[in-house]
Amino acid sequence: MNQNIRYITEIAILTAMITVLGAIKIPNIIPGIEFQLSAPLAVAICAVFGFKKYIISGCLSSLIGLALGTQSILNVMIAMQFRLIVGLILWMCQNHMIGIMISGPIASALARLSLSLYVGKAALPMIALAAPGMIFTVIMAPVFVKVFHKIHNQVPQSNVVKGKVS
């Protein structure tokens, strides 16, 4: 029973963190494609807490953002693609630091590329306008990973499944 409480509590805390930072955006010329400052946090959550907690927290955060009006459907489309691509890259790189550093910018670029097909805007300007956020993600994702690892290692674990962070 305690594991269920812990699991739900972690999901709630991660969701709140993603939601708060997701509401803070680097402005953009094209409405709806602002860069969310939650990107490096999201990469770190996936790397430290695992894909399942990451995707659940991210989906809940998107629902909250839509309900509060801080996100549009375009934001959610980019975020969902971002989450899936980050998860794939971290899985392929086995959570090595290089994967942590490159997953955010690659995911952001690919999400904007597919979005450009949807909205009919030029892809390169959309990607170029996200460059400051991509650089921020490359710098901050490893920092968040180290902080999360330190916090997670200080919290007592019980019934931990090998290879998974509970």
Span 127-147, pLDDT tens digits = 887 888 899 899 999 999 999
Say what the pLDDT of residue 141 is.
95
Say what the pLDDT of residue 88 is.
97
Span 57-70, pLDDT tens digits = 999 999 998 999 88
Q: Are 98 and 145 in contact (CB under 8 A)?
A: no
Distances (CA, A) of 42 to 67, 103, 159: 20, 10, 25
Picking from 110, 51, 54, 29, the residue whose alpha carbon sits closest to that of residue 77 is 110
Picking from 1, 38, 7, the residue whose alpha carbon sits closest to that of residue 164 is 7
Residue 93 DSSP symbol: T
Cβ atoms < 10 Å from Cβ of 9:
10
What are the DSSP calls for 97-109, one per residue?
HHHHHHHHHHHHH
Using the predicted structure, report yes or no on whether residue 30 has a pLDDT greater than 70: no
Using the predicted structure, report yes or no on whether residue 38 has a pLDDT greater than 90: no
* Location of structure tokens 């959570």: 95
Residue 81 DSSP symbol: H
